[in-house]
Chains A and B, each alone.
Chain A
Amino acid sequence: MTPAHFTFSSTFILGLMGLALHRTHLLSALLCLEGMMLSLYMALSLWTFELSSISFTPSPLMLLAFSACEASAGLALLVATSRTHGTDQLKALNILQC
């Protein structure tokens, strides 16, 4: 695997792990999500360039736009959570507990 491939693959996996295995704050999950988005951006750019496919050239930029929307959605959820629960700690999100 070329170093660039290796970099964004490992970033993606690390970000996934960080999303799944974070400990306390929701914000760290969202940050990891952003990290994953960035690695996906790099991946798309690299593949478009490698495969010399012209029609996929705008895809990284579209991904960035959608990731911005998604980041804002996540932040809105964060703000809503901190308004209702008073904290963004994940332990507070236990309303589904039996």
Chain B
Amino acid sequence: MHPTLLMMTTTLLIIFTLLAIPIISTLSPQPLSTSWPLTSVKTAVKMSFLTSLLPLFLFLNEGTEAIITTWSWMNSYTFDISISLKFDLYSILFTPIALYVTWSILEFASWYMHSDPYISRFFKYLLLFLIAMIVLVTANNMFQLFIGWEGVGIMSFLLIGWWYGRADANAAALQAVLYNRVGDIGLVLAMAWMAMNLNSWEMTQIFTIAESKDLTLPLMGLVLAATGKSAQFGLHPWLPSAMEGPTPVSALLHSSTMVVAGVFLLIRLSPLMEGNNTVLTTCLCLGALTTLFTALCALTQNDIKKIVAFSTSSQLGLMMVTIGLNQPQLAFLHICTHAFFKAMLFLCSGSIIHSLNDEQDIRKMGGLHQLTPFTSSSLTLGSLALTGTPFLAGFFSKDAIIEALNTSYLNAWALVLTLLATSFTAVYSLRVVYFVTMGLPRFTPLPPINENNPSVINPIKRLAWGSIIAGLLITSNMAPIKTPVMTMPPLFKLAALIVTVIGLLLALELALLASKQLFMSPKRSPHLFSNMLGFFPTLIHRLPPNLSLVLGQNIASQTIDLTWLEKVGPKASSTLNLPLITSTSNAQKGAIKTFLMLFTLTLTLVLLTLL
């Protein structure tokens, strides 16, 4: 075998082995040492990251992609399923990034969760999640992807409900599972359609055969799956609720890796979507609506983690818009750069929360620039990267997306919404930075502010480096498959920047307005709409389930049972027969009158027939 290919496949299989070793070591009856999370799990992830750099460099140097098919799992006469790993551009680039981010988060989690008695189990769950995510990303057939999909869903449930004594956490975990389940229906629909019409779940075969068929139904199923997993509008409330989980969970699952799984699915199967304009328009409009709506909700939230969660949701909407523009590679670029700064934002939030003794309300923070300079600087850096400040990580992906949106002949409404959401991004980012780092402290004195621990500093530092240079590195090394439009009017080229700066200035103006009173009383309704998340959870979480359950109870159990018992079955025969029986026995009472009446009747009849 060619040495490059040998090195590639060996290292890729080593990654899986390294990640599986800590899990297998938990199966032994010996109790784990207290330093097991750090010495075993974090080391495994760090080693896997370093190992995964080798395939990355091989790919960048020679362009080798590999498909490894190891084990024939189920083979019937007409349908084969085997374990098949695909290492193309997307998975080779995503795996090191995911491992890097996870390494930083695990190191942070060893500080954040160090007082938790079940910290080993926490790390085990995080590692299981990582393995499921890598299985999802490297899947070459739909079955393996589905295994990874469900795996990340389950680990998300277990991790969101980590502090299960809290009712809100249980409700949030249940919300996550239920909303993901609705999306899973779409995925199963697509898989069933593919099994029936394309006779395979292998991606290469799907791409070859599906040219000639009408793919609207499975693609709509995939869009539904992405809506559930990536929290697009309609199935989005679980993502802000998922902030009930510990901050490392939010950083890993709900910013970098799990929520991008839906978008990743669409990117993987993007060759199927290229010709189908209906599905592309659906993605475009859904993404635009999501990004604007969640950015709107983020404007008035007071919990720092919820603001970052809505920011994630908004960026996911932007990724969906990119897919709707038929630019999967740009969406993937945004996934990669977004992972860095979003994870960093979450880690900074976690550091701030712990430093202020578990205070999460930004109205009770302030002045942290003097008190936690490193954390506030990285918070500012992350926010700048998020808004797309030139030449930080977010700029390369976000600006490219806005340029592609501006120069394509597509839905102008989606364009307007996306630009508006971009300006809102600047507004809420400034709001976070203003309330958290600037001004005078608004918390009680003597909080345990301490950012001297290297387990806090080093992860944030690593992710900060990533937020600065990742965009440049990836765009320099990744050859674009579709040629981007290079010439456009200067207004289009600067559109993202102008809109962001306008948002920034507006936000500054609003922030400084807080010390003046322009109106007698505040206008409640716009603020209320945004703060209550557009009343979406309020309306959807109680009324439709109640109606469905009542309908189910009335129709399914009561009416149908009633019908079968009383109208069709045993009681019906009795109620139908009873009048007949009564009238017959009434006529046969042995009364003389009846006899005589019958006598006259028959006589009359005979006479009539004779005459």
A-side residues, CB < 8 A to B, are 16-17, 19-23, 29, 90-91, 93-98
* B481 contacts A by Cβ under 8 Å: no
- Is B592 in the interface zone, CB < 8 Å from A? yes
Q: Taking the nearest CB of chain A, how far is it from the CB of B586, in angstroms?
A: 11
Q: Is the CB of A95 within 8 A of B596?
A: no
Instruction: Give, as a whole number of angstroms, the nearest-CB distance from A38 to chain B.
Output: 19
- The CA-CA distance from A21 to B600 in the complex, in Å, is 9
Pick the contact of A20: B585, B589, B590, B597 (CB < 8 A). B597
Least distance between A35 CB and chain B CB atoms (Å)? 15
Given A21, A29, A94, which contacts B590 in the complex, CB threshold below 8 Å? A94
- Does A94 lie within 8 Å of B591, measured CB to CB? yes
Q: B599 interface residue, CB < 8 Å from A?
A: yes
Contacts of A90 in B (CB 8 A): 591-593
Determine if B600 and A20 form an interchain contact, defined as CB atoms under 8 angstroms apart: yes
**Interface digits, B572-611 against A, CB 8 Å rule (1 contact, 0 not)?**
0000000000000100111111001101100100000000
Residue from the list B591, B596, B599 in contact with A97, Cβ < 8 A? B591
For the complex, what is the distance from the CA of A97 to the CA of B592, rounded to whole Å? 10
Q: Which residues of A contact B600 (CB under 8 A)?
A: 16-17, 20-21
Across the interface, which residues of B come within 8 angstroms of A95, CB to CB?
590
Q: Within 8 Å CB of B589, what residues of A?
A: 94, 97-98
Smallest distance from the beta carbon of B415 to chain A beta carbons, Å?
Answer: 89
- Residues in chain B near residue A96, CB distance under 8 A: 590
CA–CA, A93 and B590, complex, Å: 8
Q: Are A97 and B597 in contact (CB under 8 A)?
A: no
Is the pair A98, B590 in contact by a Cβ cutoff of 8 Å?
yes
Q: Is the interface of A mostly helix, strand, loop or mixed?
A: loop
Q: How far is the CA of A16 from the CA of B590 in the complex (A)?
A: 21
The answer to whether A98 and B588 have CB atoms under 8 Å apart is yes
Is A19 within 8 A of B596, CB to CB?
A: yes
Residue of A nearest to B607 (CB): A13
Collect the chain B residues with CB atoms within 8 Å of residue A16's CB. Answer: 600, 603
Whether B591 lies near A21 (C-beta < 8 A) is no
- In the complex, the answer to whether A21 meets B588 with C-beta atoms within 8 Å is no
Whether B591 pairs with A91 at a CB distance below 8 angstroms is yes
Q: Which residues of B contact A22 (CB under 8 A)?
A: 593, 596
Q: Is A93 a contact partner of B596 (Cβ separation < 8 A)?
A: no
Closest to B603 in A: A16
Query: Across the interface, which residues of B come within 8 angstroms of A91, CB to CB?
Result: 591
Cβ contacts under 8 Å, B588 to chain A: 97-98
Whether the Cβ atoms of A21 and B585 lie closer than 8 Å is no
Residue numbers in B under 8 Å from A29 (CB-CB): 596
- The 10 A-B pairs at the shortest CB distance, nearest first, are namely A96-B590, A20-B600, A97-B590, A20-B596, A97-B589, A94-B590, A90-B592, A93-B592, A20-B597, A94-B591
A-B residue pairs in contact (CB < 8 Å), sample of 10: A16-B603, A21-B600, A22-B593, A22-B596, A29-B596, A93-B591, A93-B592, A96-B590, A97-B591, A98-B590
What's the least CB distance linking B395 to chain A, in Å? 100
Given A21-B597, A29-B596, A98-B590, output 12 extra A-B contacts at Cβ < 8 Å. A16-B600, A17-B600, A20-B596, A20-B599, A21-B596, A22-B593, A22-B596, A90-B593, A93-B591, A94-B589, A94-B591, A97-B590
Q: Which residues of A lie under 8 Å from residue B592 when comparing CB positions?
A: 90, 93
Least CB distance from B588 to A in Å reads 7
> For the complex, what is the distance from the CA of A73 to the CA of B585, rounded to whole Å?
31
Cα separation A29 to B592 with both chains bound (whole Å): 11
Contacts of B603 in A (CB 8 A): 16
Cα of A49 to Cα of B56 in the assembled complex, Å: 137
Cα distance, A23 to B603, chains bound together (Å)? 20
Q: Closest residue of chain A to B596, judged by CB?
A: A20
